[in-house]
Amino acid sequence: MACESEKWVLMVTAQTPTNIAVIKYWGKRDESLILPINDSISVTLDPEHLCTTTTVAVSPRFDQDRMWLNGREISLSGGRYQRCLREIRSRASDVEDEKKGIKIAKKDWENLHVHIASYNNFPTAAGLASSAAGFACLVFSLAKLMNVKEDQGKLSAVARQGSGSACRSLYGGFVKWIMGKHDDGSDSIAVQLADEKHWDDLVIVIAVVSSRQKETSSTSGMRESVETSMLIKHRAKEVVPKRIVDMEEAIKNRDFPSFAHLACADSNQFHAVCLDTCPPIFYMNDTSHRIIGCVEKWNRSEESPQVAYTFDAGPNAVLIARNRKVAASLLQRLLFHFPPSSDTDLSSYVIGDKSILQDVGVADVKDIDALPAPPEVKDNIPSQKYKGDVSYFICTKPGKGPVLLPDKNQALLSPETGLPK
């Protein structure tokens, strides 16, 4: 290695979004390469509210690969991390930093070790897809550090080997993961269908649902579904291929009624597959079901759907409103039915883009008690309230893909030591 001293640390920091599937990935045809049994489509969420930031560093001083997640050191010995590291290393190119007098040749990367620090700007315990943003960010930042010259599609195939849904976090806007046909997974990649500006009316409200239940991980849940469910076969073969075509069309035409119809139907079918698994898997709880009921009732009372719902492998509801006005009515309904428990203040109950609260006319927690019942529930049965059943709401929107953060102050590792700051 041609460098002045062995003291240097070279690093890169990047930020990568999470994504929510509107046509779900559930089931693998190859467990180790992470190859799915059907295509899927997702919406990338605004990284301002939900993202992973990762700093990767390389130095001749490092004697092993190490990683810190949200400040705590974690093991990199798992197969998924190892595979991502190996795949990226094998694609590394020469790197030269003249100012620092650093020259790393392609072959040197095999012997150099990396330090990785990753941080989620949302609570990991909330059960929001942190592995998608995490693996996408790991692969994206390492690819930049190691001067990997491959396109985003090829990088998505590497991120896929960390966690399937991670491949869709390499782009902003609307993304399709093409299942591919090859046994080596080389054609199982993500592509962008449209960027985040294409349909910028959409507003997303996530209800983080209080839950004490330990959930089955997506990885083992989908394995059990593939092994035991008959419905999953029908879904992958007959249902999803058509839905993918229709969803692409709905996105292209910004056709909200079709988009909502397809997204809700697909979420419900995914959870039906979970019920069809032996033993059955329950990801949604009573609160999730109540939120579905509330949206369905409202959509039915309007001429066409106003809100789409979708649920991943957990009870949290991701609600997509057709525009900001609808999102304000949605939040009003949600706050009416699910007021915060007494010790919660408004600023921690509604997070993300809080400006929607102004449109709802809520400036203080006390204003929630005064909200009127939505017209569609006023009829025969008195509307019920479920205080404390939602932990908090996140207001956000579709967002951009991965970006580099050039500002050294945003790095999570010290430029001198390469250890967490």
* Binding residues vs ligand DP6 (CB under 6 A): 21, 24-26, 34, 40, 129, 131, 163-165, 218-219, 312-313
Closest CA relative to residue 418, chosen from 64, 31, 22 = 64
Q: Which of 29, 24, 26 is nearest to 217 (CA)?
A: 26
Q: Closer to ligand DP6 at the Cβ: 61 or 237?
A: 237
Query: Nearest distance from residue 270's CB to ligand DP6, in Å?
Result: 6
| Cβ closest to ligand DP6, residue 40 vs residue 118 | 40
- Nearest distance in Å: CB 182, ligand DP6: 18
Q: Which is nearer to ligand DP6, 27 or 418 (CB)?
A: 27
Closest to 299 in 3D by CA, of 331, 271, 260: 260
Cβ of residue 188: shortest distance to ligand DP6, in angstroms? Answer: 11
The residue at minimum Cβ distance from ligand DP6 is: 164
Residue 185 CB, shortest distance to ligand DP6, in Å, is 12
Q: Are 283 and 314 in contact (CB under 8 A)?
A: yes
Pull the structure tokens for residue 205.
């409200």
Query: Smaller CB distance to ligand DP6: residue 36 or 60?
Result: 36
Q: How far is the CB of 317 from ligand DP6 (least distance, A)?
A: 14
| CA gap 202, 307 in Å, rounded | 10
403-411 CB contacts, 8 Å cutoff, 24+ apart: 403/14, 403/15, 403/47, 404/12, 404/13, 404/14, 404/144, 405/13, 405/14, 405/15, 405/53, 410/13, 410/53, 411/11, 411/13, 411/55
Nearest to ligand DP6 of 34, 148 (CB atom):
34
Nearer to ligand DP6, 25 or 393 (CB): 25
Burial category of 69 from C-beta neighbours within 10 Å (exposed 0-12, middle 13-18, buried 19 and up)? middle
Strand order in the sheet with 10-17: 72-74, 66-69, 113-120, 51-59, 10-17, 403-404
Rounded Cα gap, residues 363 and 357, in angstroms: 7
Residues in a beta bridge with 318 = 206, 310
Phi and psi torsions of 203, nearest 5°: -125, 140
Least CB distance to ligand DP6 at residue 238 (A):
18
Specify the residue, 28 or 289, whose C-beta has the smaller distance to ligand DP6: 28
Q: How far apart are CA 340 and CA 369, in angstroms?
A: 10
**To the nearest whole angstrom, how small is the minimum distance from the Cβ of residue 409 to ligand DP6?**
32
What are residue 414's phi and psi, to 5 degrees?
-75, 135
CB of 29 to ligand DP6, least distance (A): 12
Q: State how far the Cα of 170 lies from the Cα of 134, in Å rounded to an integer.
A: 11
